[in-house]
Structures are given as C-alpha cells and as structure tokens.
Amino acid sequence: MMSTAQAEAISKRLPELTNVVLPRGLINLERDEPRENVQLLATANSLLVRKDLHPALQYLLLEAMREAHSPPGPFSRQGEFPAVMPQDLPLSQQAERFYRSGRPWLYQYTNFWLAVLLDRLAFILIPVLLALIPILRYAPSLYTWLHRRRIWRLHREIAELDFRVSDAPEMKDAHRARLAELESQVRALRVPLPFEDEVYHLRSHLSLLRTRLDAA
C-alpha cells in the first residue's frame, strides 16, 4: 500500500475520491504493521439498476448490501454503509424509502410473493380509493334517488290515470284495465323500509281511484 502524502488535498480536488487512513498497527499489533498511519485514496462503489427493475428485487438488493456492508471494517464504522451519498444519478423511489424508513413492513412480516402482490394491489387501489372519495359523498343521495325514481314514475302514471278518469269518465273499462295494471306494479314493488310510507301513498291513491270508478 502506497501512502499518499497529499491524499486529503486530492480528495478535496476530486470529490469522487475519499481520503481514508489505515491506522498504525491495524494489520498486526505485535509486529506493528503498518509502522505508521497510511494515507490512502479510495472510491465508493455505487449500485446502479435499470428503471424497470422490479421494486421487490430492488429491496432484496438493498437488504443484501446492508447485510454485507453494515458491519464495521478498517475504514468504516458500524452501519456507515450502505449509505446515500452525493451522486449524479437520482435514487430510485425504493432506495429513498429504504434509507428513510427501512424495508416496507409487508416484506418483513409476510412471504416474498405475498408482499409483492399486496404491494402491487396497494399501488393500484390507493389512488382508486382516493378518486372514489368524492363519489362516495354522493352515494346516499344516489341510493335514495334510485329507489324513489320507481316510486315517482308510478306516482306520475297514477296521476295521469286520475286525470283521464276525470276528463273521460265514459271510458270506464279502459280505466279499470289500466288501474289493474298499476295495482299489479305497486304490489310487485319492493323497496327498503324507509320508503314503505311512499308506497303506502301509492296504494291509497289507487284505492281512491277504484272507489271513484266503482261509484261512477
């Protein structure tokens, strides 16, 4: 190993190089090797991946790097590597997340294949759920409208029959036939309990119409 007297200055001029010191006696304390501190120049290794590399594989690579390089060594402290260091290429989203909070809990407490599946589902479903929140605000109104539109349609048809009974009383047979159709539709109508009172109004209106037709 060659000691470089200007190692510190060189590392300042060339940021891609780092000045590291091999302490005296580190190789062999009994023989005092080396006999003085050795000034060295070193480069940090970077792991580069393609943009399309699967996120789960990126986490596995980062875990392998942590297991291999986190123990202390002659030139590094415990947990110093792997690390985020200034570089020209941007970090992937998975690397940023890994260095910020570690591996996602899905990969820690579930099988690898299940974690991959759930991570993909979360990536797809969370934006969908966020998009559905405004829609869900109107769900109760939509639910009410879907049930009441059938009731309103029958109300309109019964009102039209009521007008025809008053306008053309001589067409009793046609009115009775139409009244029977509407009564059959009302009997077949199935609605939730909160809408039963409106169905009761339909039946009451039909009953009044039948009374008028029978009395005419």
User: At a CB cut-off of 8 Å and minimum separation 6, what does 19 contact?
Assistant: 7, 8, 10, 11, 39, 40, 41, 42
Residue 27 CA to residue 36 CA, distance in Å, equals 11
For residue 74, give the 3-state DSSP assignment: coil
pLDDT in tens, 122-155: 777 778 777 778 777 888 888 888 888 888 998 8
pTM of the model: 0.45
Question: Is the separation of the CB atoms in 197 and 146 below 8 Å?
Answer: no
Q: 152-207 pLDDT, tens per residue?
A: 998 899 889 888 888 887 788 888 898 899 899 988 888 888 888 888 888 898 89
Assign 71 to helix, strand or coil.
Answer: coil
206 close to 182: Cβ distance less than 8 angstroms: yes
Domain ranges of the chain: 1-43, 139-215
* Distance between CA atoms of residues 44 and 19, nearest Å: 11
